[in-house]
Amino acid sequence: MPAATPADRRRNTHALPPVPPADAAAIAAFIDAIWAEHGLAQASQDSYRRDLEGLARWRNRGEGGLADAERETLFEYLGWRAQQGYSPRSTARLLSSLRAFYSHRMRSGARGDDPTALLDPPALPRLLPKALSESQVEALLAAPDVDAAEGLRDRAMLELMYAAGLRVSELVGLPAGAVNLRQGALRVTGKGSKDRLVPLGDESQHWLQRYLDQARPALAQGRTVPADGHGQVPLFIDAARKPLSRQYYWSLVKRYAAAAGIDPARVSPHGLRHSFATHLLNRGADLRALQMLLGHSSLSTTQIYTLVAREHLRRLHGRHHPRG
């Protein structure tokens, strides 16, 4: 039997009943609680909601009731997802969402047991970040046409993402007030609404200054750039004076990769962040300093880049050592 495609999974999921009102209320209460406790970003809240609504809709085929689901029900749901072809990584994320939900139910006194207690996450392969070589990054950065306002904006965004190791959501969401070119620093709000200060190099400052002096006024066409729902004026804008979406920026990076002669399948916005980290380590950066620059709350998250650096050293050894 052939494996289910993503389109097959979407069709099977869409065929499920809607989320029962009681489950929707329980999910909303949980999302509000974790937002108040941890200040989770909107993307993380949406991820929790999708995972929990998936189980609620599947369970609604029978007796329903997400809040009081038993361990046997969760086993059955995991088995159904396996038949639909969901990846181990997706299942691991689901289990994390379920554990958080039922833990909240227990803390609030709404439930006396945790049905996820004996559910083990699937074994995940340790994936090394895909980083570009330094020459590939140079080619990618040089791909935009800086004689056009959009191209100058894109060059500044690529330079800034690589110089500061930004997540794509951090880059497109940067407010204009986050940049201090006089001090050569950038204030970034990362996951969990945590702020960090990142130094900027001369190249990124040069292109950012050119964008602010030339491209941004041209894109705004002399009009005021409106603030978002949080009262922040976006730094990077399109011709409609609105911030770029993550999806649109993703397509830009793919397009510039192709123009630079790089396989677009090997390039993503997050790949520039990986390249930033890998290149710093290869040039002797301290792991703790890299953790601060990337905004990782745990050093263990940053340590995966040491595997990339060690692999780089092994290749150098094999290429140049007489007995390599």
The residues assigned a catalytic role are 167, 191, 270, 273, 296, 305
Query: Kind and range of the H or E element at 313?
Result: helix 304-320
Residues pairing with 196 in the sheet: 188
Residue with token string 């991820």: 47
Torsions phi, psi of 194, nearest 5?
-90, 130
DSSP 10-23: HHHHHTSPPPPHHH
Long-range contacts: 119-126, Cβ < 8 Å, 24+? 119/71, 119/74, 119/75, 119/78, 119/95, 121/91, 121/92, 121/95, 121/96, 122/88, 122/91, 122/92, 123/88, 124/88, 124/89, 124/92, 126/304, 126/307
